[in-house]
Structure formats: structure tokens, C-alpha cells
Chain A
């Protein structure tokens, strides 16, 4: 533990890397965009039309059908018409809020109130929902509607709406829109919207007849370096049947080649970075799963086979806290996770203390038998959970602020929950470090672990310290359970999946050395993520296991062997 202060600092620094990688601001990130779009739609969506007339009305009327071809035609005609007043209809269609009744009236549902309004007149309509049908909607139709909505949004006075529209178009530009996009570009004043429009137009102009325009387009795209546009650039380099290049202008070809190179470079960086980040993410999950064991097994030498079940109890406690919040304080629901952290700690710590007092303290001298007894405890805990909560998984809802993802770089995004888990892992490591090095309990624990007899002779109640250490280790396992509940399924067998992994982490890191566990968990995570693309997830895992087994033969005391007693098992 000593030296965690500086080593910890390095480690923290290392983990800050992903956090400080400047978020890509070219606006072409799929997830960010989707998220923003959804947000925009929430705010900007009009739930009814202002009333339609003329051609728009006559086209919209024809949505009252379940023939998908007809709907596709309607969408195409609306696209040609480009009437901003049809936006609410299209959004309702896309969100499955559009209905038609037996008289052929097209109705829009207001998701907030559940009211229906006539799409043509804009008036509220009283209608029984069982008489309503929905027009057929497929992903293919949506694919047409999305850019259309984007295009119509560009007519808005609101910058945010225009930006949402421009983002959509930059992503899925349609050749038919080229002319209109150019007109809109001429009028646009907002630089961000303008930039996005330029991208959209550039993508459409890659096959312009004027080579100057093509060159300019390639340059705009090269600037964006989005992998999505790579295939478009590649098509410029293709050769026809005679072996002549499709693109006549050598300068354009050259520019395209450079752009592709830049994109590929970026892609490989992204791949490396994503392997690293996913590895750290996986490693921090392993770490949280193993940390409690690093205390119980590492410090106390108790082979706690019920460790997995302590994780499970932590996860179930989170589930209970979630339900209590939903029941008693729905307005605070999104903060249930914060409340679950102390709750899980306390509950699992109590279970741990019960285990220690009831069974384990009689077995300190017989480590191999602790193994059997704790395995028995594990079976009982698992079955108890089944009896109480059922054999099936329970449903965990991630709080809103915990869903979504963080874009670290184009092509590298990490879900918020995993970022949270990484941060939480460091919080827990820091907590353990603090308790071990800065508190009375920590001092006594370390004293007892180094020399039990001497500690007792100095008035330290080794017995009591055992109890608290076990309780604390169990509590930390409970914290691991809170984190796991956010990324894996919560069921009675949750813990079984982590028990062997946890032991591997602790043994590899060096028994008795918590810092070693931190490094071995993160290292295992990163290695397996770099192995995975080559070997596949399972083989990667097997290889790691074999590597660990070999490693232990070579260095039985783990990566970070403490001098002296630790690591020596007899």
C-alpha cells in the first residue's frame, strides 16, 4: 500500500487521458448527433399542424393507407414540395404518432396529452383509439423521412432547429436536394450550420461535372475526416473496365487519395484508442469486482468463494433502492444510484460481518476449508436470492444521466455508464486507500495483517479487526455490485461470472497488495481488448488465463510482491 500516493497519482493521470482527449467538435459524431436530434425534437416538435391547404393537404391526405409504397410516394412528393408546414406530420409519422381513422382522416397524436388533432385542419378531434389504424412505417421509409425533416428544419427561424436539420443532411444528403441546399446556404448566417451545409453539399458534389467543384468537395470532406465518407472518396479512385480511372482529373484523384489516407490514419488512431479505452473500461469492471476480494483474500488470506454473491447482494441492494425511489420519491429517481452506494456498502458489509462471526472466524487456521465453507455460504445466498426475488433477472433502469455516451474522438465513444464505472472504480480505490492509510481501522488492519500476535500484544483486538476487515471487504464488494448492476444483468447468478476472474486479478496482482490488484485488473482489461480483435472474445480470455497460470508458475508472488511475509503461503 505504501507508495500508492505517487503510484496512484500516475495511475489517475493515466486514466485521465481519455477524459482530456478533446471531444471532437466537427459535429459529425453519430451518437452525439442522435442525442441532440432527439433533444431538439423534444423541444421543437410541434404536435399539431397550423392547418394545411392546397397541394400539401392533398398529399398528406394520402397517408391514410397501409400500403408502404404509397407512403413512400407521399414522402417523395413532400420532399419535392418542401413545405415547412408539413413538418409536424412528418415528425409524427417518423415517431409512430400518426394515425388514420375509418373516414380517412389523418390524425396526429400529442404524446404529452394523448389528444388527437386532424393533420389537415389542425383541430382537435375526439376519436376512440380502437378505430384508428397506423400507416405502415419501415426503416426504409424513415430513411427517406429523416433528411426531409432535416431539410424542412432548415427553414426554421430557430438556429438550434436549423442546426439539427443541417446535421441530419450532412449525414444523409439526398441528390435531389442539392439545388435547394445551395439556396439555403446562400441565406445561412450561422457559421456552424453553414459548415454542416457545406459538408452536405460537398458530399453531393463529388460527382459534379466541374472538376473544380469536385476538388473543392474532396477538400471539404478531407477536412472532416469522417470514416463514413471514406467509401465515397474511394469511388473516385475506382477504375472502369478498361482500367482507366473513373475520375478524369488527376488533381481530384490526388486530393481524394490524401483524404483517404488522412481518414485511415485517423481510423487506426481511433481503433487503438478505442481498444485502450474499452480495455480500461473492462479493467475497471474487473477491478471493482475484485477489490473486495483483494481485501478479504489478499489481506486476510480467507478464500472467500462467496465473494461473487457479495457482488450480487450489492447489485440487488441497488435494485431495491431503485424500487424504493420509484415508489416513494419518484421526483428524485435519477439519483437513486447515489443512495444505493452507501446502502449497498452497509448491507453487504453486514452480510460479511455475519459470515465472519458465524462461520469464518472458526476457520482462520484452516484456509482450504474456508474455501468449502464459503462456497456453501455462496450456494445458500444464491438460493435465498432466488427464493426472494425469483430466478429471473430483475429489471434495472439506468438513470437518465447515466445513459448515452461520451465521445472521446470520432469513432471512439464510451457509454456514460462505463465512464461512470471507471470513475467509480477510482473513487473506490481512493476510498480504500484512504481507509487503509489514514484511519485508525486501516492502521490496525495493517498491523494485524503483518503480525497478528504482536498487534494483539499491543492491545489491538485482532478478532475485532478481522470482523471489520471482512465487513469492509464485503462492503467494497457491495460497491462493486452497484457498478455491475449498471452494466450487466442482475440475477442470482451474477456473482458466479466474476468469481474466477476476481481470484485471477488478485493472484496476478500479488496477494496482499491492493495496488497490485489495481494494476493487474486494468492490465488484464487492456490486454484482452487488444487481443479480442485478433483472437475473439473467448479465445482472448482463455489465452489470458493460460498466461496467468504460466505467470504464476514463474512468479508465484504476483506482479507486485511485497518483501517479507506476503506472498508466502505456508
Chain B
């Protein structure tokens, strides 16, 4: 199916239906459904070990799925390799950031140019993260956690993705940078219309950054809606320990 054909919902960037995944003998994703509207900032929430990271990795194509469908702008992603998904517009900022430690900051940023026509790092990436320009020659592994997180986001942005997947971007990062990251996420969403799918545990950050939520519990999607509908009852039922 060509990418231009829209799905029946019309304005969904990402649409996941009936996704099942097994890790060894354990059933990690149980018929998960998820819709991310184009232009939204959706936050995927849930307690630890409920399958959020697994779901992102399945979207990215880093884990095989047993059944179900993942569509990007109506196009079925199942069966495509990670690099093909990346080129179709899925940007990924993994948990733990996964910077290439032996590459310089600049080299880290150049890696995603593999599938791009333009061979230069887009200027806007440096506009969003001016600090990276000064650190161009430093090795990725030598950066602080916050800087690495910025680098990871910048690196995904080089791809100029349609949707940006962020897996716990605030984990282990000092508060001032957390705020900066939240700003950047909103800016790219509002200024460029980039769809964002965020996995986040911190409620405050999720509330201030995202406009929609979706909650997973025990490998299943249990609730979703606009962020202002995320009431205390839902939080206490699915999120608090």
C-alpha cells in the first residue's frame, strides 16, 4: 500500500491494532491497540515492566512481533527492517540514550544521514541544541547524561522524522535540562508539526509535555484520551504503585 493512502481514520500518524509479542515464554504485549494522531504529543504511560519500551521497540522494528499491525500514515510497517522504518519517518530516542560512545558528537549526528539526500546536518538541530555545536569534537561517551540525551534527540531529528519516539527522556537527568527537553519537544511539535510519542513515568513531565495519553497495564492498553482527561482515578488505578 503506498504511503500516501490514508487509513480509514484519516488523521492517524500511527495506528497499532491487536499487537502481540512474546519474549521467550512470556506474553509481553497482549493485543495492544494504540492510535497516535498526526500532530499530537502522545504520552504512553504505565508502571514499570508493563511493556512500554517493548512496544516502542516493536514500532521501531527492533523486536519481532507475533501478530497484529503497525501502520504509519496508513502504511503497514510489519515486515520492514528498522532502517527502512527509520527512512519512512520513525525517529527513535531509546531508553538509556544509546549514544555511540566512540564517535564524536558530530559523527553521532552524521550517522542518520545514511538514508538522506542531504549530506549535511540540518542547521535547525544546532538551533535547538546550541551546546552540541561547541562539543562537536568531543566523544559521545565523554558527555554528561543530559548532554547525551540532547544528543540522542538531536540525532533522531537529523532524520527529519514524521514521528519521534522518545523512551523516558528524563531518566537520570538534572532538572534544568529536563525542562529544556520538554521545551524542545513542544517546540518541534508546535513549530514543525512533528508527531511525538513519548514514554514517560513522571506525571508532571508528561502533563506539561504531552497533549494526549495512553496507558498500558500488564501488556494491554487500558486507557487513552486527551491529557486533560487524565484524572486522578485513572492515575491511581494504573499508574501509582
Decide yes or no whether B122 CB sits under 8 A from chain A.
Answer: no
Is A444 interfacial (CB 8 A cutoff)?
yes
Please determine whether A443 and B62 come into contact, CB atoms closer than 8 angstroms. Answer: no
- Nearest CB in chain A to that of B111: its residue: A447
Whole-angstrom distance between the Cβ of B91 and the nearest chain A Cβ: 8
In the assembled complex, the Cα of A463 lies from the Cα of B86 at a distance in Å of 15
Q: How would residues 433 to 467 of chain A score, 1 for a CB under 8 Å from any chain B CB and 0 otherwise?
A: 00000001001101100110111111111110000
Q: Are A453 and B82 in contact (CB under 8 A)?
A: yes
Residues B83 and A459 in contact, CB atoms below 8 Å apart: yes
Please tell me if the beta carbons of A457 and B102 are within 8 angstroms of each other in the complex. no
What 0/1 pattern do residues 63 to 106 of B give for CB contact below 8 A with A? 00000000000000000011100110000101000101111000
Once A443-B110, A450-B100, A564-B101 are accepted as A-B contacts, the answer to whether A456 and B159 lie under 8 Å apart by CB is: no
Other than A453-B98, A459-B112, give 5 A-B pairs with Cβ distance below 8 A: A450-B102, A457-B94, A458-B155, A459-B83, A564-B101
> Could you list some 9 contacts between A and B, CB below 8 A?
A444-B114, A450-B101, A451-B100, A455-B100, A458-B83, A459-B86, A459-B87, A459-B159, A563-B141
B62 contacts A459, C-beta separation under 8 Å: no
* A2, A455, A562 — most chain B CB neighbours (10 Å): A455
What residues on B are CB-neighbors of A461 within 8 Å?
81, 83, 114
Shortest Cβ distance from B138 into chain A, in angstroms? 11
B153 at the A interface (CB under 8 A):
no
B111 near A460: Cβ-Cβ < 8 Å: yes
Contact B102 A562 (CB under 8 A): yes
Query: A450, B155: Cβ atoms under 8 Å?
Result: no
A451 to B140, CA, bound (A): 13
Interchain CB contact under 8 A, A446 and B103 = yes
Residues of B within 8 A of A563 (CB): 101, 141
Contact A457 B82 (CB under 8 A): yes
| Complex CA–CA separation, A564 to B101 (angstroms) | 9
Chain B, residue nearest A454 (CB): B98
Please give, as numbers and ranges, the residues of chain B lying within 8 Å of A2 by CB-CB distance: 102, 139
On whether the beta carbons of B98 and A460 are closer than 8 Å, the reply is no
The answer, yes or no, to whether B156 is at the interface (CB within 8 Å) is: yes
A170 to chain B, nearest CB (A): 59
Chain B nearest CB: distance from A441 CB in Å? 10
Contact B103 A443 (CB under 8 A): yes
A453 surroundings in chain B (CB, below 8 A) = 62, 82, 98
**Are A457 and B60 in touch, CB under 8 angstroms?**
yes
List residues of chain A with CB within 8 A of the CB of B111: 443-444, 447, 455, 458, 460
Chain A nearest CB, measured from B107 CB (Å): 6
CB distance from B201 to the nearest CB of A (A): 22
Size category of the B interface is: 20 to 34
B225 proximal to A (CB < 8 A): no
CB distance from B200 to the nearest CB of A (A): 19
With both chains docked as a complex, state the minimum distance between the C-beta of A547 and any C-beta of chain B, in angstroms: 29
Q: Is B130 an interface residue (CB 8 A)?
A: no
Contact A458-B101, Cβ < 8 Å, known A2-B139, A443-B107, A453-B82 = no
In the complex, the chain A residue whose C-beta lies closest to that of B62 is A453
Query: Are B92 and A457 neighbours in the complex by a CB distance under 8 Å?
Result: yes
Question: What sequence of 0s and 1s flags, for each residue 1-45 of chain A, a beta carbon within 8 Å of any chain B beta carbon?
Answer: 110000000000000000000000000000000000000000000
User: A444: nearest residue on chain B (CB-CB)?
Assistant: B114
Q: Residue on B with the closest CB to A450?
A: B100
A-side residues, CB < 8 A to B, are: 1-2, 440, 443-444, 446-447, 450-451, 453-463, 562-564
Asked if B83 and A456 sit within 8 Å, CB to CB, the answer is yes
CB distance A454 to B139 under 8 Å? no
Judging by beta carbons under 8 Å apart, are A459 and B115 in contact? Answer: yes
* A440 CA / B61 CA spacing, docked (Å): 24
| Docked-complex contact B114 and A454, CB < 8 angstroms | no
How far is B107's CA from A56's CA once the two chains are assembled, in angstroms?
Answer: 82
A564 touches B81 (CB 8 A): no
Q: Which residues of B contact A (CB under 8 A)?
A: 60-62, 81-83, 86-87, 92, 94, 98, 100-103, 107, 110-116, 119, 139, 141, 155-156, 159
**Assembled-state Cα–Cα distance A447/B100 (Å):** 6
Q: How far is the CB of A529 from chain B (nearest CB, A)?
A: 34
| B86 touching A456, Cβ below 8 Å | yes
Within the assembled complex, what's the spacing in Å between the Cα atoms of A1 and B103?
Answer: 10
Asked if A459 contacts B114 (CB within 8 A), the reply is yes
In the bound complex, CA of A451 to CA of B141 (Å): 13
Residues from chain A with a CB closer than 8 A to the CB of B86 are 456-459
Contacts of B60 in A (CB 8 A): 457
Are A447 and B83 in contact, CB atoms less than 8 angstroms apart? no
Nearest Cβ distance between residue A469 and chain B, in whole angstroms?
A: 14
CB distance from A419 to the nearest CB of B (A): 35
Cα A450 to Cα B101 in complex, Å, equals 8
The 9 closest A-B pairs by CB, nearest first: A459-B86, A456-B82, A459-B115, A458-B112, A454-B98, A457-B92, A460-B114, A447-B111, A461-B83
The minimal Cβ–Cβ distance linking A557 to chain B, given in whole angstroms, is 15
**Chain A residues closer than 8 Å to B139, beta-carbon distance:** 2
Please give the distance in Å from B99's CB to the nearest CB on chain A.
Answer: 8
Smallest CB-CB separation from B156: which chain A residue? A458
Contacts of B98 in A (CB 8 A): 451, 453-454
Assess the B159–A458 pair: CB atoms within 8 A.
Answer: yes
- On whether the beta carbons of A457 and B103 are closer than 8 Å, the reply is no
Q: Which residues of A contact B156 (CB under 8 A)?
A: 458
In angstroms, how far is the closest chain A Cβ from the Cβ of B141?
7
Q: Which residues of A contact B87 (CB under 8 A)?
A: 459
With A and B bound together, what is the CA distance between A71 and B101 in angstroms?
80
Chain B residue with minimal CB distance to A512?
B102
Give the complex CA separation of A62 and B27 in angstroms. 106
Find out whether the CB atom of B102 lies under 8 angstroms from the CB atom of A458: no
How far is B98's CA from A446's CA once the two chains are assembled, in angstroms? 14
A457 to B61, CA, bound (A): 8
A457 touches B114 (CB 8 A): no
Measured CA separation A547–B55 after assembly (Å): 50
In the bound complex, residues from chain A placing their C-beta under 8 Å from that of B107 are: 443, 446-447
* CA A173 to CA B98, docked complex, whole Å: 77
- Given known contacts A444-B111, A444-B114, A462-B83, A457 and B101 CB-to-CB distance under 8 angstroms: no
Contacts of B61 in A (CB 8 A): 456-457
- Closest chain-A Cβ to B20's Cβ sits at a distance in Å of 21
Which of A443, A450, A460, A564 is close to B83, meaning CB atoms less than 8 Å apart?
Answer: A460
Distance in angstroms from A355 CB to nearest chain B CB is: 22
**Contact indicator B114/A458 (Cβ below 8 Å):** yes
**Residues of A contacting B115 in the complex (Cβ-Cβ under 8 angstroms):** 459-460
Chain A residues near B100 (CB, 8 Å)? 446-447, 450-451, 454-455
Could you tell me if B94 and A454 are in contact, using CB atoms closer than 8 angstroms?
Answer: yes
Residues in A neighbouring B83, C-beta threshold 8 A: 456-462
Min C-beta distance of A159 to chain B, whole Å: 60
